[in-house]
Structure 1
Amino acid sequence: MPSQAAPAQSSTPTIGSAASAGMSEAALRRIDDHLRRLYLDSGKLPGTQTLVYRRGQIVYHSSLGYADVERKVAVRDDTIFRIYSMTKPITSVALMMLFEEGRVQLDDPVAKYIPQWANLGVFQAGIAPYFLTKPPARPMQVVDLLRHTSGLTYGFQNRTNIDAAYRDKGIGAFEKAGTLDSWIADLAQIPLEFSPGDAWNYSVSTDIVGYIVQKISGMPFEQFVKQRILDPLGMTDTDFYVPAAKAQRLAACYTADGKGSMTLSDDPATSSFLSPPALISGGGGLVSTTADYLTFCRALLNGGELGGVRLIGPKTLKLMTSNHLPGNRDLTQMSLSMFSEATNAGIGFGLGFAVNMNPAQTLLPGSAGEFYWGGAASTAFWIDPAEELITIFMTQLIPSSAYPIRRELRTLVYSAITESNL
C-alpha cells in the first residue's frame, strides 16, 4: 500500500467577496431570507448551514437556527452533522483508488470478492424465506454496486417482498444493526429484485462497496478511509462516530411529522453516533462538518487532488462523473426506486454520484456535468466543474423528501451568478 501522505498544508480555503467570484452578494443573501421565512421561523427545520464556494474561494457561509433546539445550542462553524448518504461518494472514491492500483476492475463479478453470492437468484414470487427465483441474465458486477443497478434494495422503501425481507433482517435501517459480515451472509439468502443492469434502485450497494474495499485492502474499511482519504486531506472531524471530546458539537436530529413540525429522533446526548458502531456503513455511516466536506469536494473539483494530496487521477474522476446507466438513459427511464436522494428528469448516475445530463429537463438552472448527492437528514452537496462551483447544505431533518429545499437552493445559488463561465 502507498505510504500515508502528510496532511495538506494548503487545504484551508480562501474567503473572498461574492463580486470577486462573479456572484451577487445581495442575491446570495436571499438564501438566508428564504430559509428563515419558509423553514426556520415556522419550525420546519431546526437549523441550517449553507456554504457556497466559487472560483477558488468561499463567497457565502451562513449558520442559522439551532443544532439542538431543546438545549438552545446554535449551529456553529464546527457543528458535526450526520451526513448519512453523503458517505457514499467517499466510499466510491475509496474503491476507485484501488481501481487505479489495478486491484479491482469495474466489470469484475461481485462473486469474485463475495463467493457466497455466486448463486444469487432474481425474485419471481414468494415471501421470506420461501422465495421462487430465476437465474439473473448476467452476474452482478462491481460497476452495478457503484451505480445502483445491482438488484439490491433498501428495506425502508416498503415496495416489495424483498424490501420486507431486508426489514426483517435489519439490513439498511437507519439504526445500523449487525456487521458487514452478517449483512453479506443475510443477503446471500435473499433474492435480487431484478437482474443486474436491468434497472436502477437505490440500495445498500455502497455498503457492499465498503465491504469489497475492506476485502481487497486487507484492512478494516474505516481504517482504509481514515488512512487514505481523511487523514491525508486533514478531515479531522469526519468519522464513523463522534469521540467524547467532540460530543458537545454533535447536532440533534429530527423527524418531520408530515404536518409542518418536527420531533426529536436522535438526542445528541444519547446518540448511537457517540460510540464506535459494530456496522461500518459505507452507504451512510459518516458524520462530518461543512468545512471537512468542503475539503473533500475541493479535491474533486480540482481533479482529484488538493494541497499535494492526490486521491484519484482526473481521468478516473471523469469516468466516475459520467453517466453509467445502460444506453445513456436517465433515472426516469431506469428507476424502480420509491426513494432517492435525487429527482429524476435529466439526471443520470455515475460511479457514486448523480450526474446532470440535461439541465433543461431538470427544470432548474445548472450545468451539464455537475455531480452531486445528499443524505437522509436533508443534507446535500453539488459540484459544478463548468462554473467552478461547490455548494454544501447541512441540516438534520429526516426524511430528505420532507421539503423541496435542495431544488430551491439550486435556484437561489445559480441565480446569484453574475459572470457565467458558460
Structure 2
Amino acid sequence: MAETLHIVGGGMAGSEAAWQAAEAGVPVVLHEMRPKVGTFAHRTGNLAEMVCSNSFRSDDDERNAVGLLHWEMRAAGGLLIAAADRHRLPAGGALAVDREAFSAEITQRLRSHPRITIREEEVTELPESGHWIIATGPLTSGRLAEAIRAATGAEALAFFDAIAPIVHADTIDMSVAWAQSRYDKGETEAERKAYLNCPLTRDEYEAFVDALLAAEKTAFHEGETAGYFDGCLPIEVMAERGRDTLRFGPMKPVGLTNAHRPGDKPHAVVQLRRDNALGTLYNMVGFQTKMKHGAQVEVFRTIPGLKNAKFARLGGIHRNTFINSPTLLDDRMRLKSRPHIRFAGQITGVEGYVESAAMGLLAGRMAAAAIRGGDLPPPPPETAMGALVHHITGGADARSFQPMNVNFGLFPPVEARGGRRGRKDRYLAYTERAKAAFTAWLGRKRA
C-alpha cells in the first residue's frame, strides 16, 4: 500500500489536492481545523467554502487567461471546476456559482471517497517526516504561521484582503434598479440579466464618495501596514486615489442602459451579482470594504435602489499571509529546506479561487507521483498552470513578490505570424498554444 499523503487545509487548494492524489491511488489524510477552530471570514465547517466572491471569473477559454485555466482544470479532471459547472448561476460570461451548494458537494465528495480521511484538527507545527502539502490559504492559523517562519528563516509577507457585502434580494428596490449584464453578455436571457444595476447621477455619486471617505474604518493593529493586493482593493482605498477612480472601476457605467429611463445615461452604476441559485442573495460587485459595520449600512443605503437594503453579510477585512515562494520553493512546489513538504494555494502567492485550486491540483498530482516512486514535472510555461508555477517558483522577483492572478503577462510571448497581431488574435494564439502544450503534458506517462 502506498504511503499516506497528509494535506493541511480544506480550502480550494487542499480540497483539490486531496481529490487528485486519492484518484491517483494514494491514501490521503486531510487536516482541517474548522469548525473546531474558526476564522474571521469562514461561516461553516464545509470544505472549499467561498468566503469572498462567488465568482470564478471569466469562462472564456479562447481569449482570457483565467478562462484558459478553467479549460485546463476541466481537461485534468478537476473536482472543483466540475462542481462549479454543476452549480453554475447566470452571470454573463463569468462562472459564478451557488456557494452553499458548491461547498456542500465538495464536502460530500471528499468525505465519501474511500481513500480520503478527514481530521478536524489544527496542525500547529511543520512535520519532520512523511509526505505533506500545506494548503492553509490566506487565513493560516497564527501558530502554524509562526512555525513556517521559524522553519524558513524568513518573514512571511502579508497584505490585507477585504470582503464584499451580500444583500437580500427582496430588499432591493426594482423600481430603481434593473437587471442587465454589462454589454448584454450571455447566451441566454437569464445570463444577459444576471446582474442588478443601481444608477447614480453625478450629484449622487459625489455624495456617495464624500460619505465613503468620511466613514469610520477598521483600524489596523499597532505595527501593521496596509499592503493591499491591487485586485481586491477596498472601495474607500480606491476613492482615496481620486474621486473618479470608482467610476473607472467597479462603478463604471459603460455597457448598460437604464431600463426605467433609457434616455438617461448614469454617471456611475453599482452592480450586484446573484449569489445563490434561489436568487435571494446578491453580492455587491467590487465593494470589498474595511468600513465598520454601522458605517457600511449607512453609506450603502445612500445608493439608489438600496435605501431599504438588508444585508445577509457585511464587508470586512482580514490579514492575508503568504510566503516568499520564489525564494523558498522549487519547481515541484517543495520547500527547499524540507523537500518532504509542498505548499499550494494562496499561501504560495497566487490570488483567486481558480488559481488556488489549480496549484492544489498540481501539488496533489506531484505528491502522488513522488509517493509512487515517480516524478511529475510542472506543465510547460506556455500553459496557464505552468505560467503560474513558474511565476511563484522563480519567475517573479523575490524582492518585490506580491500575490498574482493568472494573466497573459506571465506567459512566454507569442511570436507574430504574418505581421502584427491584434490583441484578440494574440490572446487566441496564447490559448491555442497553451491547450496543445497542456494536452501533451497530460499525456505524459506518470508513476
- The TM-score normalised by the length of structure 1 is 0.28
